[in-house]
Amino acid sequence: MATPSMTFDEYVIAAGLVGRAELSYTGIAAAGFAYSGITTGPDEVVILQRSYSSSDSVLTVELFEATFTGGTDPRLLNRRLSLPAPTSATIKQGVTPDTLTTPITGATYRASTGTGQASVSIPGDDSRIYLKANTNYVVRYTNGGTNTATIANGFDFRKALKGNWDSLLVSA
């Protein structure tokens, strides 16, 4: 239930407008890749908080505007669990990308000790990613470690709102 003290993001979660995608890839060889695809519908989509992890020590994640084929449905849910997952984007894991050019954004994450698991959680407050309407995107996950890895990615998403609504707080 929405309350006057909620932030805007808390309000849209309570209203059932935020989805969560959970993707996982196993057996990714050293220097190997895994891919996911996102297709937006007639509205822009905003990616909120997200997390990445690799069972090896180095993981690079890059976002491309590119077409793709294939893939399977990942686990999708509504952050308000009593409602169905929002349909503001179609998300697939294990896709085959077409030509990838320069990434829109990307980062490399390393284990804090130089060995072990590379992982990061990025809050959505200051690092939202806005995806254009009616556009295909590919996320490339690169195992930069020396061992075969399991890679996981989870992120929250919702339809982007028009105007400057994303920066407003809900108030009484």
163/27: higher pLDDT: 27
What is the mean pLDDT of the segment spanning 97-115? Answer: 91
Q: pLDDT band for position 93 (50/70/90)?
A: very high
CB burial class (10 A; 0-12, 13-18, 19+) of residue 52? buried
pLDDT given at position 171: 34
Span 122-153, pLDDT tens digits = 887 678 899 999 999 999 999 999 999 999 99
Span 30-72, pLDDT tens digits = 999 999 999 999 989 999 889 999 999 999 999 999 999 999 9
Fold of domain 8-160: Jelly Rolls (2.60.120)
Phi, psi for 103 (deg, rounded to 5): -65, 145
The reported pTM is 0.87
7 DSSP β-pair partners: none
Span 108-124, pLDDT tens digits = 999 987 678 999 998 87
Span 10-40, pLDDT tens digits = 778 888 888 999 999 999 999 999 999 999 9
CB burial class (10 A; 0-12, 13-18, 19+) of residue 148? middle
Domain ranges of the chain: 8-160
Mean model confidence pLDDT for the chain? 87
pLDDT given at position 4: 66
pLDDT given at position 168: 43
pLDDT of 163 strictly over 70: no
